[in-house]
Chains A and B, each alone.
Chain A
Amino acid sequence: MKTLKKYGKVWWIMSRNALSGAIYSKLSFLIFLLGKVVRFNFFVLFLFYLVKGTGSLAGYDINQTIFIFLTFNVIDIVGQFLFREVYRFKPLILGGDFDLILVRPTSSLFRGLMGGADFIDLFTIPILFIVLYFVGMNFHPQIGDVMLYILLLVNGLMITAAFHIFILGLYVRFLELDYVLWLYRDLLNLGKLPVGVYKQPLRDILVYLIPVATMITVPARAMMGFVSFWGVIVSILIGIVGILVSMRFWKYSLKYYTSASS
C-alpha cells in the first residue's frame, strides 16, 4: 500500500510536469486536440453511413459496430494517456541519460512506461466514456455484462501495457527499432473493426499472436452478451502471460544496457 502511494505520488509529479510542458503552447495543444477529434468523428460518421447503407458489417449492426470502434478508442486513447512516456524514451537510451533513472530509488520500468501522462487525451477520455455509455445502453446489458466488459477492458489495457514494456525492452536491447511502436499502432488500428471482418489466418493472428481481438472485440462482445466463459478465461490468460513475458524481457534487456554516449 505504501509502495502504491509512493508511485502514485511520483506519477502525479511527473504527469504535472508533462502537463506544464504540454500547455506551454496552448495553440499547439488545441490544434492536436482538434486533429484527433476530426479523425474520430469522421470515422464514426463513415461507419454510420456504411452500416446504414449495407445493413450490417460482419454480422454487427450500426450500434454494435460503433461500440466496437469506441472500445478500440478506449484502449488506444487510455493506453496513450498512460504510456505516453514510451514515445519519449528512446533519447534517454541513445544519450545515456537512462543512467540517471537507474540510480533513482524508483523502478526504471515505471519511469519508462508511465513517466508522464498525455494530457491531450485527458480531454477526450471523459467524452469518449459518455458516448460509450449511451451507445452501450442500447444493448440493455445486465450488470454482469457491464462488470465483465470492465474486467476485459482492464485486461485489454494490461495487454497494451505488455506491448509497451516489450517495446521499451527493444529500445534498451537494440538502441533502434523505434518503428516497432508505430507498427504496433498500425496493428492495433485493425481493431477498429470487428475481428470477424478479417479472413484466416489474419483472424487467428489477431486473436492469439497479436491479440488485438482479445483487447477490443472480446470486451465489446461481452457487453453485447455474446462472449463465452472460455472466451473470458483465454482472454485473461493472454493478458497475464503477456505481462509476465514482457516483464521478463525487460529484465533481460536491462542486462545489455551499456550507457552509450554518457
Chain B
Amino acid sequence: MRNKYFSVCRISFIQELAYRSKFVVERLQSVLQIFLIFFLWDSVFSDPSREVFGYDRAKILTYVFGLLIVKAIVASTKASDVSGIISSGELTNYLLKPVGFVKYWFFRDISARGIHTAFAMVEVVILFVILRPPFFLQTNLVSLAGFLVLIVMAVIIFFLMLTLVSFIPFWLVEQTWPPIFLFLSVSEVLSGAVFPLDVFPYAIQKVLYLLPFPYLIFMPIQVYLGKVVGMELGRSLLTAGLWMVGLMIAVNWVWQRGLIHYRAEGR
C-alpha cells in the first residue's frame, strides 16, 4: 500500500523534471510576480522607521519572501488536471487501477511541491543576496509550530478545494478550465498571495477570516511573523481544521455522487 503511492510520487518526480524549460519558466514567473510585490512594499517602507497596517519594513519584506516559499508549498498542485480527465473520459483508466483516485492525485503532488519548494528556497537565497532586505527571524517555538501545522492544513485545504472544483465536469462536461480559472482568480486574491489581507478595513477582514482562503497563505505567514498568537492562533487552527474536515467530507460526497453521473463521454 505504502509502496504503491511511493511509486506514484517517484514517477511524478521524473515527469516534473522531464519538461525542464517549462519548469524553469514557471519558477521565473513566480520570481517576476514577487518583484512586483517586493518593490511595491519596498517603496512604501522606504523610510525604515515607518509602520503601516501593523507591519514594519522587516516584517512586510519577510511576508513577501515568505509568499514565494509558502506559495510553492501550497499551490504547486496538478489537481486542476482532474477536470480534463473527467471531461475526456480518461477517468475510466484511473478507475480500473488499484489506487484511490483522490489519494493518487494527492501523492502525485508531493513531488511537485517538493521540487517547487526546493527551487523557491534557492530563489529566496539568491534574491536575498541581490536585494538585501531586512528579514524577520521568528524564534518563538509556538509560533514556528503553529506555522508548520497551518502549512500542512493549507496544503490539504487547497488540494481539496481545487479537487472539488475539478469535479464540476461530472455534471457539466464542457466546464473544465473556466471554473478553475475563476477559483484560482478568487483564491489568489483572498489567500493573501497578492497583498496582505490586513490592508482591508477590519469589517471586511472579519468576513474574509470565515472563508477558507486566508488559511492558505496569509494566516500561516501571519503566525510566522508573530502577528497571530495565543487565543487568536488557536481560533485560526480551529477554523482551518474545520474547513479541512468539511472539505474532506464534501470531496468524498461529491466524488460518490459524481461517479453515479459519470458517463465516460469521449471514450
- Which A positions have Cβ atoms within 8 angstroms of B? 25, 27-28, 31-32, 34-36, 38-39, 42-43, 45-46, 49-50, 53-54, 57-58, 176, 179, 182-183, 186-187, 189-190, 192-193, 196-199, 202
Given contacts A28-B175, A50-B195, A186-B29, is CB(A179)–CB(B21) below 8 Å?
yes
CB atoms of B43 and A58 under 8 A apart: yes
CB atoms of A186 and B199 under 8 A apart: no
Residue of A nearest to B35 (CB): A190
Given contacts A46-B194, A183-B32, is CB(A193)–CB(B40) below 8 Å?
yes
CB distance from A120 to the nearest CB of B (A): 11
CB atoms of B40 and A197 under 8 A apart: yes
Q: Which of B136-144, B179-187, B220-228 lines the interface with chain A?
A: B179-187
| Known contacts A53-B52, A192-B36; 20 further A-B pairs (Cβ under 8 A) | A28-B174, A28-B175, A31-B179, A35-B182, A36-B185, A38-B189, A39-B185, A45-B200, A46-B199, A53-B53, A54-B44, A57-B40, A58-B43, A179-B25, A183-B25, A186-B28, A186-B33, A190-B32, A197-B42, A202-B35
A183 to B36, CA, bound (A): 14
B39 within 8 A of A: yes
A221 to B43, CA, bound (A): 19
A38 to B178, CA, bound (A): 14
Closest 8 CB pairs of A and B: A31-B178, A179-B25, A186-B32, A35-B185, A42-B189, A35-B182, A28-B178, A197-B43
CB atoms of A49 and B201 under 8 A apart: yes
CB distance from A180 to the nearest CB of B (A): 9
CB distance from B161 to the nearest CB of A (A): 15
Please name all residues of chain A whose beta carbon is closer than 8 Å to the beta carbon of B43 when the two chains form the complex. Answer: 57-58, 196-197
Contact of B186 among A38, A53, A182, A183 (CB under 8 A): A38
Please name all residues of chain A whose beta carbon is closer than 8 Å to the beta carbon of B25 when the two chains form the complex. Answer: 179, 182-183
User: Would you give 17 A-B contacts (Cβ < 8 Å), ordered by A?
Assistant: A27-B178, A28-B174, A31-B178, A31-B182, A36-B185, A39-B185, A45-B200, A46-B194, A53-B199, A54-B44, A182-B29, A183-B32, A186-B32, A190-B35, A193-B36, A197-B43, A202-B39
CB distance from B151 to the nearest CB of A (A): 24
User: Which residues 185-244 in B have Cβ within 8 Å of A in the complex?
Assistant: 185-186, 188-190, 194-195, 199-201
CB distance from B89 to the nearest CB of A (A): 18
How extensive is the interface on chain B, given as a class? 20 to 34
Given contacts A49-B200, A50-B44, A197-B43, is CB(A31)–CB(B28) below 8 Å?
no
Please name all residues of chain B whose beta carbon is closer than 8 Å to the beta carbon of A176 when the two chains form the complex. Answer: 21
CB distance from A215 to the nearest CB of B (A): 16
Residue of B nearest to A195 (CB): B39
Given contacts A38-B186, A179-B22, A186-B32, is CB(A199)–CB(B39) below 8 Å?
yes
Contact of B194 among A25, A43, A196 (CB under 8 A): A43
Please name all residues of chain A whose beta carbon is closer than 8 Å to the beta carbon of B175 when the two chains form the complex. Answer: 25, 27-28, 31
A202 to B22, CA, bound (A): 24
- Which B positions have Cβ atoms within 8 angstroms of A? 21-22, 25, 28-29, 32-33, 35-36, 39-40, 42-44, 52-53, 172, 174-175, 177-179, 181-182, 185-186, 188-190, 194-195, 199-201
CB atoms of A38 and B182 under 8 A apart: yes
Contact of B32 among A43, A57, A189 (CB under 8 A): A189
CB atoms of A57 and B39 under 8 A apart: no
Please name all residues of chain B whose beta carbon is closer than 8 Å to the beta carbon of A193 when the two chains form the complex. Answer: 36, 39-40
A186 to B188, CA, bound (A): 15
Q: Count chain B CB atoms within 10 A of each CB in A38, A186, A187 and give the residue with the most.
A: A186
A36 to B185, CA, bound (A): 8
Please name all residues of chain A whose beta carbon is closer than 8 Å to the beta carbon of B32 when the two chains form the complex. Answer: 183, 186-187, 189-190
CB distance from A130 to the nearest CB of B (A): 22
A220 to B131, CA, bound (A): 28
A202 to B40, CA, bound (A): 13
Please name all residues of chain A whose beta carbon is closer than 8 Å to the beta carbon of B172 when the two chains form the complex. Answer: 27
Please name all residues of chain B whose beta carbon is closer than 8 Å to the beta carbon of A57 when the two chains form the complex. Answer: 40, 43-44
Q: Count chain A CB atoms within 10 A of each CB in B22, B177, B195 and give the residue with the most.
A: B195
A131 to B151, CA, bound (A): 40
Please name all residues of chain A whose beta carbon is closer than 8 Å to the beta carbon of B52 when the two chains form the complex. Answer: 53-54
A193 to B39, CA, bound (A): 10
Please name all residues of chain A whose beta carbon is closer than 8 Å to the beta carbon of B195 when the two chains form the complex. Answer: 46, 50
Please name all residues of chain B whose beta carbon is closer than 8 Å to the beta carbon of A183 when the two chains form the complex. Answer: 25, 28-29, 32
A216 to B129, CA, bound (A): 30
